[in-house]
Amino acid sequence: MKYISQLLIAFFLLICLYSCNNQSGDNSDTTGNTTGTTENTEVPAPVLNYGFTERNTYTNDYFGINITIPEGWTVQSREENSMLENLGRQNSGQTGGTQSSSTSIEELQVIYLLVALQLEPGTAVDYNPGIQIIANNLTKSDTAVSATQYIKALAEQFGRFPNFTLNDAGISDTTLSGKTLAFMKAETKIGEVAVKQTYFATIIKNYAVQVTISYTNQQEKEALLKILDTLDFE
């Protein structure tokens, strides 16, 4: 599927990265009315946005996502996430590969919503475990795509790389925050390090919202599962 190509490149860029403000307020108005009637004002629907992190909690009202990152973890900035988006665009051969300040979020094929790492980037470790949430625009897909089809397309594309191995359990469904998501488990070799990943996906507003955790041992996995326990789809 064509919509996977840029994500595929961005994924491996992100794996390599692992190895080596907020708008709020109430604009409500109070209007006096001598007739005793009250003006009915509707709350505008949320627009596509990157979301924000405040007090260790990432929130995106457009996709209805909330997730809490532990104290001490590093949440990448919007600028750092934009770098990954740019690299994915350039390496996929997409025209206009370098994202400018005028590039709108609606133009992006892959949007990095959240990238959080357990350790400060540059820490001298074999691997820095983390979690990422991305949104992949499906509007250019020829046909409607389900979460299971999306995960299958990922498995097919990643499977072309010799260091990528899909878990024998294959692709199935699981439940997070009361929502059914398609998921798969896989392993990627980075040098001598075996990096394990679990991919989750759901379709929200014609975007494939993908949550991925990456780790090398049981202790790292348990820390990431605790983060997933805080995930909330509104």
Per-residue pLDDT of 83-116, as tens digits, reads 877 775 655 455 444 444 557 898 888 899 999 9
Quote the domain boundaries for residue 86: 2-19+51-233
pTM (2 d.p.) = 0.80
Is 36 inside any structural domain?
Answer: no
- Of 115, 114, 79, which is closest to residue 99 (Cα–Cα)? 79
Between residues 213 and 81, the one the model is more confident about: 213
pLDDT at 23 over 60: no
Give residue 125's pLDDT band: very low, low, confident or very high (50, 70, 90): confident
Is 107 inside any structural domain?
Answer: yes
For residue 146, give the CATH number of its domain. 3.40.1000.10
Between residues 118 and 82, the one the model is more confident about: 118
Is 163 inside any structural domain?
Answer: yes
Domains contained in the chain, number: 1
Is 42 inside any structural domain?
Answer: no
Is 34 inside any structural domain?
Answer: no
pLDDT at 132 over 90: yes
Is 119 inside any structural domain?
Answer: yes
